Amino acid sequence: MKIIKTDGMLTVEPEQFAYLEGLGAEFVEKTLLTEDALIAEAKDADALMVLREPITARVLSELRNLKVIGRFGVGLDSIDVEACTRAGVQVTYVPDSNIDEVSTHALALILSLARKLKTYDSAVRKGRWFAMDDGAGITRPSKQVLGLIGFGQIGRLTAAKAKAFGYEIIAYDPYMPAEKISAAGANPVSLEELLGKADFVSLHIPATPETRNIISADALEKMKKGAFVINVSRGGLVDEAALAEAIRSGHIAGAGIDTFEKEPPSPDNPLLALDQVIVSPHAAHYSTQSYAEVRSKVFADVAAVLRGEKPKYPVNFKG
């Protein structure tokens, strides 16, 4: 049996290799980031371990031995799960290794923007100590509203953490019963209401055709003047050109962006030219602990499937 890890990025430690003991499988690492590369180099794979590689129907039709795909993380937008199911390929993922990290990162962006840390940092470095007024407009959390779009695992934990700082929390999630949102201490609202009320609009939703550009030029216009946009979920949820324009016009005060439509973003991405925007390299999930956990869970599940056992985190064939 052959397992190919194709992301070319994540390192593997002895604690992960331990899951393959006794399996008698060959483990190979190759960087195969395109459909063509996967088809050319992974034809004989029984298992793939992937990060963001395109697992399409075309790739699946060529990888005839494939039995299982383990995805390092929760997002499945790079995998055609329906095509995997049709091909009899088990997909596994890791939905729960970095909820703490992503919610903390969202809060870090919110608080940094709220406290104008970038502005103050730059003033002090330029030798301006009496720069208090640069923070004009800074407001207490207890006087501000955090609007969460998506109230799943990460949305809920972001709400719990933000509540401790005093923010009023409102949430829009049409697939979550309103009682569940209320029970978690947030007010369930429509998207329109959220956009009109929130000082911070934070996205915690998957990338789907329905959520594409949910923060569009029109949505930005409906937002409060001086509000902020936070995206630690997926690129494609925010119309980046429209957001940059809304910030330049002064309607939106700034943004915290961890995920971009194109990653890495091109140097001429308009958001990168704006001081009011804090960016990070799709790193919201990262901590020493989450990084180890996500790899171990993929190795454990891929090994389980190759042994003929049920994986702990199946995406398809759940029965």
Ligand X SMILES: NC(=O)c1ccc[n+]([C@@H]2O[C@H](COP(=O)([O-])OP(=O)(O)OC[C@H]3O[C@@H](n4cnc5c(N)ncnc54)[C@H](O)[C@@H]3O)[C@@H](O)[C@H]2O)c1
Residues with active-site annotation: 234, 263, 282
Q: Which is nearer to ligand X, 49 or 109 (CB)?
A: 109
Q: Does 297 bind ligand X (CB under 6 A)?
A: no
Q: Tell me the DSSP string of the chain.
A: -EEEE--S-----HHHHGGGTTS--EEEE----SHHHHHHH-TT-SEEEESS--B-HHHHHH-TT--EEEESSS--TTB-HHHHHHTT-EEE--SSSSHHHHHHHHHHHHHHHHTTHHHHHHHHHTT----GGGGTT---GGG-EEEEE--SHHHHHHHHHHHHHT-EEEEE-TTS-HHHHHHTT-EE--HHHHHHH-SEEEE-----TTTTTSB-HHHHHHSPTTEEEEE-S-TTSB-HHHHHHHHHTTSEEEEEES--SSSSPPTT-GGGG-TTEEE-SS-TT--HHHHHHHHHHHHHHHHHHHTTPPPSSBSS---
284 binds ligand X (CB under 6 A): yes
In the complex, what is the shortest distance from the CB of residue 132 to ligand X, in angstroms, rounded to a whole number? Answer: 33
Measured from the CB of residue 203, what is the shortest distance to ligand X in angstroms? 8
Print the binding letters for residues 163-182 with ligand X: x by CB under 6 A, - otherwise: ---------xxxxx------
Of the pair 98, 144, the CB lying nearest ligand X is at: 98
Question: Shortest approach of ligand X to residue 156 CB, angstroms?
Answer: 8
How many residues in the shown chain lie near ligand X by CB under 6 A? 32
- Tell me which of 233, 269, 276, 296 binds ligand X, using CB under 6 A: 233
Position 150 contacts ligand X (CB under 6 A): yes
Per-residue interface string for the shown chain with ligand X, residues 234-273, x marking contact by CB under 6 A: x-----------------------xx--------------
- The residue range among 18-26, 94-102, 216-224, 309-317 that interacts with ligand X, by the rule CB under 6 A, is 94-102
Binding positions for ligand X, rule: CB under 6 A: 73-75, 95, 98-99, 102, 149-155, 172-176, 204-206, 210-211, 232-234, 258-259, 282, 284-285
